[in-house]
Amino acid sequence: MDGRTLLVDGWRGVIGHNWGTRHAERWIWLHGLTDSGDWLDAALGKVKLGRVTTPWVASGALSLGGRRHALGGPGRKVEVHEAPDRCAFLLTGKGLRVRGSVAAPRKDFVGWVYADPDGPEHNTVNCSIADMSVQVERDGGAPLELVVQGGAAYELGMRERDHGMSIQPFPDG
């Protein structure tokens, strides 16, 4: 960068996520990577289909000891209790229940406006230095707990504007 070499070998990170030509009516992105290399990455959404909005649907994965487990999908149980600065969740996969929470102080979030191509807007709040705790129940396996202190990501996209979070003054769309 500007003639400097910046070594990033060994840095933690994510590739990213995209939603397509429209945003979901409401969405959540969760990401946490432990010191041991286990991780959770999930996208949850409520999708508007005409005048009906679906319940929460999830798609994601949990990696334990290098083995990846799919979470969410059609017919899988999902529970969500969210607020702009925290979320409690239950995600399920084949023989797996993942119950967790993610939170951070409001001062650690950044907010912005996302616009859909046809005009409607969402307020989005994101924190990439959140705390996450995840309890994993596996059929035939001992329960596990994964903890990420100050390094998890939580993003909430919503229509509301009365959430009390600061929104950056940069237009989108």
Residuewise pLDDT in 10s, the chain (173 residues) = 688 887 777 766 655 555 566 678 899 999 999 999 999 999 999 998 899 999 999 999 999 999 999 999 989 999 999 999 999 999 999 999 999 999 999 999 999 998 877 777 889 999 999 999 999 999 999 999 999 999 999 999 998 888 899 999 887 76
Taking the mean position of all CA atoms in its chain, how far away is CA 154? 5
Quote the domain boundaries for residue 61. 26-158
Q: CA-based angle 87:89:91, to the nearest 5?
A: 150
pTM here is 0.87
17 belongs to a structural domain: no
Taking the mean position of all CA atoms in its chain, how far away is CA 13? 14
147 belongs to a structural domain: yes
170 belongs to a structural domain: no
- Tally of domains in the chain: 1
